[in-house]
A and B are shown apart, each in its own frame.
Chain A
Amino acid sequence: MSVQNLNTFDPFADEGDPLGDNENVGSQADYIHIRIQQRNGRKTLTTLQGLPKQYDSKKLLKAFKKEFACNGTLVDDEKLGKVIQLQGDQRLKISTFLTDEGIDRATIKVHGF
């Protein structure tokens, strides 16, 4: 007679580590950050950081510039990757633009005052 309770059996053996396969668990790397920076006078600068890889930031920048009627540039930061810089406060416009294009609103973080 065997007592089933005494068997050494791991019920989750074939399950594996649930968090093993995706390395960025709990990291906030997947957020799109939209920030604002003050320049001299009442001029400001808007930066968009953390755009997912599948989007072409160059084309996006072109679309931004046309849509918001502002100038902008693509900055290559060694740590943060490609960052889109736009002139003026375009934070709300950017976030509505991105959500209209089908990016989840929860992944966009708008910073600043």
Chain B
Amino acid sequence: MSEPLFDPSLKKKKKKAVAFTEDPLGADADPTTPAPDSIEDLTADGKRVDLGPSTAHEQMMSKDKEEDEFKSMFGDVKKKKKKKDIPMDLDAADSGTSTPTTAAPAGGEDLDFSDLKKKKKGSKKKAAFDLEAFEKELHESKGEDDDEVDTSHLDNLDEGELGDDPFATADGGSGDAPGSGEQAWLSSDRDYTHQELLTRFYSLLHAANPSLLSTSSGKRYTIAPPSIHREGNKRSVFANVTEICKKMHRQPEHVIQFLFSEMGTTGSVDGAGRLVIKGRFQQKQVENVLRRYIVEYVTCKTCKSPDTLLTKENRIFFMSCESCGSRRSVNAIKSGFQAQVGKRSKNKTG
């Protein structure tokens, strides 16, 4: 997923994080599997792939995602991250219940781990909450499974006598019977269904190369956190502003202009390329502003890719996406009302 994320580990080993490539599974899965459009979508978004088989769950997931994005537009970005993790886990568990894959539960754990690494603080609470929420979702999803799996269930009955009861697997929790789902058609001489083949393909794929499971973390858009020091009593120094601008492919002037107008201050760039901001600011605050910059001026609104270019034509900025080719104009940076702060005698106009 392409949400802007400040990875603290990036500071130390920047090169490693940058070197991650495109999701290899999305490319691989294309020729082998016939037409799982929805699965491709998932991989393009950097989501986990093994959620593939059940389409209804994908729909649920995309709905979740949309909601989250909607929230993120207005709400706090921090809040979004916390919320986003939970439904993803739930969905992972869901897919495990409806279509038993060996990979699904492992993937869920994997995701959790990468998350724990980033936020050590809330890990315990979150884990407990996850379990609780998972159970709740399980009960809810049972009802949905009833209507969704029904058709495939009937199909199975038509094609051969198969004891693959969707309800039983739903009760059994996440993927405790991966063997029975596959061996059932291996042993009998009935035709296999598309679902089964797909499940088999993904389980084999993930068994062969488990590194694919953790691609979602590699796809994340990460930027080194801004390093803010206090200079004197009233000024803050943003040291790695040029680095961050380079990472975002934006002109430092543009970023600085945005920072100043959002934070309602002024400042200057010193000889070493550091930004000196008037006023006391903490790293977290600058991070929040940068996040907003990324949402507004870096990520493509169509495909959420951060791989965009900003060009100026006739005094209007246009953002063109490198990965999907979309082009849109972005708002000019406007600084609003500036209240009189400090002594009036220093201000010539006042």
Number of A residues near B (Cβ < 8 Å) is 22
Q: Contact between B264 and A35 (Cβ–Cβ < 8 Å)? A: yes
Note all chain A residues with C-beta closer than 8 A to B341: 37-39, 45
Q: A90 at the A/B interface (Cβ < 8 Å)?
A: no
Contact of B285 among A39, A40, A42, A113 (CB under 8 A): A113
Contacting B265 at CB < 8 Å: which of A33, A38, A42, A75? A38
* Chain B residues touching A, range: 20 to 34
Please tell me which stretch of B164-172, B173-181, B203-211, B332-340 contacts chain A, meaning at least 4 of its Cβ atoms lie within 8 angstroms of it.
B332-340
Q: How many A-B residue pairs have CB under 8 A?
A: 56
The reply on B294 being an interface residue by CB < 8 A is: no
Residues of B within 8 A of A35 (CB): 264, 336-337
Interface residues of A in 24-44 (CB under 8 A from B): 28, 33, 35-40, 42
Q: Is the CB of A105 within 8 A of B339?
A: no
Do the beta carbons of A49 and B336 come within 8 Å of each other? yes
Whether A112 sits at the interface, judged by CB under 8 Å, is yes
Interface residue B110 (Cβ < 8 Å from any Cβ of A): no
Q: Is B281 an interface residue (CB 8 A)?
A: yes
Which residues of B314-343 are within 8 A (CB) of A? 331, 334, 336-339, 341-342
With an 8 A cutoff between CB atoms, is B289 at the interface? yes
**Residues 234-277 of chain B, each 1 if its beta carbon lies under 8 Å from chain A, else 0:** 10000000000000000000000000011111000000000000
Of the candidates B265, B286, B289, B339, the one having the most CB atoms from chain A within 10 angstroms of its own CB is B339
Query: Which residues of chain B are near A94, meaning CB under 8 Å?
Result: none
Which of B's residues lie within 8 Å of A, judged by CB?
74, 234, 261-265, 279-281, 285-286, 288-289, 331, 334, 336-339, 341-342
Chain A contact residues, CB within 8 Å of chain B: 28, 33, 35-40, 42, 45, 47, 49, 75, 77, 80, 83, 85, 105-106, 111-113
